[in-house]
Structure 1
Amino acid sequence: MLRTLGLGAAGISVGGLGLLAGCSSDGEPDTRGAGDRRNAGGPTTTQPRRDIAAYDPDRPYWEQGNFAPVTTEETFTDLRVTGSIPSGLSGLFVRNGSNPPTGKSAHWFLGDGMVHGVRLVDGRAKWYRNRYVQTPLQVARKDLLDFGGVPGKENNQSNVALVHHAGKLLTTGEVGWPFELDPRDLSTVGPWSFDGKLGPTMTAHPKIDPQTGRMHFFGYEFLKPALTYYAVDPSGVLDVVSPIKVDQATMIHDFAVTDRDAIFWIGPVVFGFDGANPKIPFHWDPTGPSRVGVMPLDGSGDDIRWADVPLGFAFHGLNAHRDGDDVVVRLNRLEQAFGPMGDLVPSHLTEWRIGTGGKELTVTEERLTDREMDLPTVDRRHLGRPSRHGWFATTTGADAEYGFELSGICHLDLKTGREDVWDPGPDRRSGEGFFVPGGADEGDGWVLTYIWDRTTNRSSLGIFDAQAMKQGPVAEVELPVRVPFGFHGLWVDEDQL
């Protein structure tokens, strides 16, 4: 196995040798070091186990355990595989997350974006790379709110998710422009504003309609009430810009679409430094409203209709679809978004049935499971349409031995209510499980996630049969480093690379 080591944003290899000089024989950039080899069984360069395993409840959870950032950018090739990578699973798995280079940040959400990718080719694990998203903030080693100017455009950390559309691999953040990556080596190409048509922000979770190929997304702003819906055609041309009137600047992290509608939910997470933790720029305001809005895709922001919902918040939606005059939305709902010091609180999968046939919207709410879980993923071939299957990251409580952690993965059959849960035990932890199609039927495929082992302080890429999560991974790509907990991943098929 070959290994190269980068030093932060500069991307400089050991001994000053350039990492991106020339190309390898397969057309990908040649990132091989000068004779720098290491077996997968060798020592890791991330934090030693004694630091990782010890949990201090008086410290922020995002500065310790597997939330703690890693300190180097690395490349490993010809990775060892336990089990067999499924036939036909060739492409790139890449996941974004928060990785402050100083090791400290005001909140887990506020570190610099770092992507971790594994390239699979014909049953082999060709390489692993982790790279910072080279935003101006990261290059300058500045915190979001210390960099100057209003967060937005290039002034963002691009640390939340990824999308591949019209031939571009983009990272997204909470606010600001996306950044394009080169999928061959995960290097940063630069910010992307859709040829200057994008406003100041593109928020984290765009949706690609599986039938039309159109990409739907929105942007909101931290410091003023502003929400804008956008749409991009299959060739990458941004052709819809539709402002939506809102009364208050609140966090709007995700939304949902059907084949006819865009659905937005607003909860009282407001911006300012007057919360219990003065370093965190967002806090929960229980006096604020919780609302849901439905906008026709063939209309404009002027056509949106709003309805009140019970006080709460949702970071993530699973999916939405039309059922006659009703819009059915399934989302991971929280009673409140944050604890007093910015701690995350449990969320549960909830269904809203929104009646659109009358003069006013009506909303009924039903909790679908009592299991605490979030980071939902769906078979994206059914995005915006009725869907039966969802996969979720389970969590531990703050009172667990190591405090709040992402834990295993739950597959929920929404038709039968059956839960198929991979429980990793006390010493292994995963994160979001991303579904990759393997057959024609909904839910026939694979779930990919990074798995961390606290006893070795190393990670692997786990590959699961999506319909047999409890059985554990059918294959693991062993990594000689730790991949910290992160946010959202993406699979890019071989024919798209």
Structure 2
Amino acid sequence: MSTDRASAPPSVPPHLAGNFAPVPDEVTVTELAVTGAVPPELTGWYLRNGPNPHQAASAHWYTGDGMVHGIRLEGGRAVSYRNRWVRTPTFETGASVYGPDGTMNLANAKANTHVVRHAGRTLALVETSLPYELSCAPGTELDTLGAHDFGGRLHTPMTAHPKTCPDTGELHFFGYGGLRPPYLTYHRADATGELTVSRPVDVPGHTMTHDFHLTRHHVVFMDLPAVFSMERAVDPAGGMPYVWSDTYGARLGVLRRDDPYGAVRWFAIEPCYVFHTLNAHEEDDGRRLVLLGMRYPKLEDGALVSSPAVLWRWTIDLTTGSLTEEQLDDRPGEFPRVDDRLTGLDARFGHATAAPLPELSPYDPTEPRAAIHRYDLRGSTVASHWFAPGRQPGEAAFAPADDRPGGPGWLITFVYDAATDRSDLVILDADRLAADPVATVHLPRRVPAGFHGNWLPDD
């Protein structure tokens, strides 16, 4: 197969150059070569979403058409690789998410950020639209089945970072945006996929709300100072319509899950931005909330970063009304994950990717190697898997080895190799992270840098 290496002229923006450049087509490849051995316990899909502009151009990395890349594993074999665009109504037209008046069209977006499963549906997500359902049964092609609005009940966008409660099977999420209140709405779907809660959350303005926290008894919203800009929204050049505000402030809003229409209790924090939370849990019989996330000191206009994110902890004492915040580590990182079966619970381990991407990310240029870090959140130690120079991992999803939450398992991620201009699927033993990969599945082409994904076992 011929290479699709991008030899970009200097005029090409960074988010369309190198491994950020889109691939031009959809392929299905079988009989994949493997170094090592794919664990026989892994039968299912590894899926990862990311921007891949259909017209080979976009105004911002965040705004390209969604493309889902999937590896099918079955009983110790790497059966196939395929990549498919998520065909939203704007796939061919490239129309803007925002209308001339700045309002949002719920079906007029690029489902390019995440791919999750709930109640038997596989959903491609972006925070500015409805979710889009994909075919994901064994033998299917990851085709787009259409927008999913929970039987006509969902009337806002859906975050790209919903969270499934391991106790109840409920899916918690939110939608944000628009020119008029409510700027933020909290939603909940039960284990069967029925939307059961939709309630406005009172915030003073339209801010970019990318993620949130969930614990066993609480939902915690982040109201942070990346504020919607009408000027940017109607700019023909496109891009992200958000600017940093030095006056908006920053706060966390706590809602009890057993009173979903009750009052939200707000706690001020130091201004910052958090794209991605790691996890959250409760202590002292639910009277204290512990929240973990990758914190940026601020964003630049257009949702750009000028310094890397590092791991922080916020602790809310609901009895005294106090809040403490502290930096836990100085290693740059992003795309934090835990064993999803411990979402909202006291997970011992969390993982984050540290990838020096000179095109977009302000990491230390003297460290040419990327890494995946494993945080022992109780013992305050860190184990790392370091990649050879030129090899760039993405987000690492956890695939469990058995039915014990927090037990053994593997970290799975796509890794781009600049020397070959191709990508591999790399499987690491989470408990022996510094060791060589358990398996490396070699792909015949490049998987562009992207966002989020999941291991979706057949069962």
Q: How far off is 1:286 after superposition?
A: 2.3
- The match for 2:153 among 186, 197, 203 is 197
Q: How far off is 1:411 after superposition?
A: 1.0
Quote the Cα distance in structure 2 between the aligned partners of 1:405 and 1:139.
38
Aligned residue identity for 2:256: P
Quote the Cα distance in structure 2 between the aligned partners of 1:116 and 1:338.
30
1:246-257 matched pairs, under 5 angstroms: 246-257=203-214
Q: How far off is 1:240 after superposition?
A: 1.1
1:230 aligned to 2:192?
A: no
For 2:438, the equivalent position in structure 1 comes to: 474
Deviations 1:275-331 (A, max 9, x none): 7x9743122222221110100011134411001100101011111111121111001
1:118-197 matched pairs, under 5 angstroms: 118-145=71-98, 150-183=103-136, 184-197=140-153
Deviates more, 1:186-195 or 1:212-221: 212-221
After superposition, the Cα gap between the structure-2 partners of 1:165 and 1:237, relative to the gap in structure 1 and judged at 3 Å, is same
Aligned residue identity for 2:117: H
Q: How many residues align?
A: 446
1:47 aligned to 2:5?
A: yes
1:326 aligned to 2:288?
A: yes
8 Å CA contact 1:107, 1:342 repeated in 2 = no
1:381 aligned to 2:341?
A: yes
Deviates more, 1:63-72 or 1:141-150: 141-150
Quote the Cα distance in structure 1 between the aligned partners of 2:62 and 2:316.
31
Tell me the secondary structure at the aligned position of residue 462 of structure 1.
Answer: strand
For 2:31, the equivalent position in structure 1 comes to: 78
Q: How far off is 1:399 after superposition?
A: 6.3
Quote the Cα distance in structure 1 between the aligned partners of 2:290 and 2:369.
28
Q: How far off is 1:491 after superposition?
A: 1.2
After superposition, the Cα gap between the structure-2 partners of 1:209 and 1:410, relative to the gap in structure 1 and judged at 3 Å, is same
For 2:311, the equivalent position in structure 1 comes to: 349
Deviates more, 1:86-95 or 1:214-223: 214-223
Quote the Cα distance in structure 2 between the aligned partners of 1:247 and 1:105.
31
8 Å CA contact 2:256, 2:262 repeated in 1 = no
- Give the TM-score, by structure 1 length: 0.84
CA RMSD of aligned residues (A): 2.5
8 Å CA contact 1:443, 1:467 repeated in 2 = no
Aligned residue identity for 2:157: T
Percent sequence identity over matched residues? 38
Quote the Cα distance in structure 1 between the aligned partners of 2:224 and 2:369.
24
Tell me the secondary structure at the aligned position of residue 81 of structure 1.
Answer: strand
Q: How far off is 1:365 after superposition?
A: 0.3
For 1:491, the equivalent position in structure 2 comes to: 455
Quote the Cα distance in structure 1 between the aligned partners of 2:205 and 2:102.
20
Tell me the secondary structure at the aligned position of residue 332 of structure 1.
Answer: strand
Q: How far off is 1:338 after superposition?
A: 3.1
Aligned residue identity for 1:199: H
- The match for 1:315 among 253, 263, 275 is 275
Q: How far off is 1:116 after superposition?
A: 0.4
Quote the Cα distance in structure 2 between the aligned partners of 1:472 and 1:339.
41
- The match for 1:419 among 382, 385, 394 is 382
8 Å CA contact 1:94, 1:490 repeated in 2 = yes
Tell me the secondary structure at the aligned position of residue 73 of structure 1.
Answer: coil
Quote the Cα distance in structure 2 between the aligned partners of 1:250 and 1:201.
14
- Give the TM-score, by structure 2 length: 0.91
8 Å CA contact 2:35, 2:441 repeated in 1 = yes
8 Å CA contact 2:178, 2:206 repeated in 1 = yes
Aligned residue identity for 2:79: K
Quote the Cα distance in structure 1 between the aligned partners of 2:251 and 2:245.
14
5+ long unaligned stretches in structure 1:
1-41
Deviations 1:334-380 (A, max 9, x none): 1012367834531111100011114xx32100111000101111011
8 Å CA contact 2:40, 2:77 repeated in 1 = no
After superposition, the Cα gap between the structure-2 partners of 1:341 and 1:219, relative to the gap in structure 1 and judged at 3 Å, is closer
1:437 aligned to 2:393?
A: no
Deviates more, 1:134-143 or 1:383-392: 134-143
Aligned residue identity for 2:143: S
Aligned residue identity for 1:69: P
8 Å CA contact 2:394, 2:413 repeated in 1 = yes
Quote the Cα distance in structure 2 between the aligned partners of 1:103 and 1:96.
17
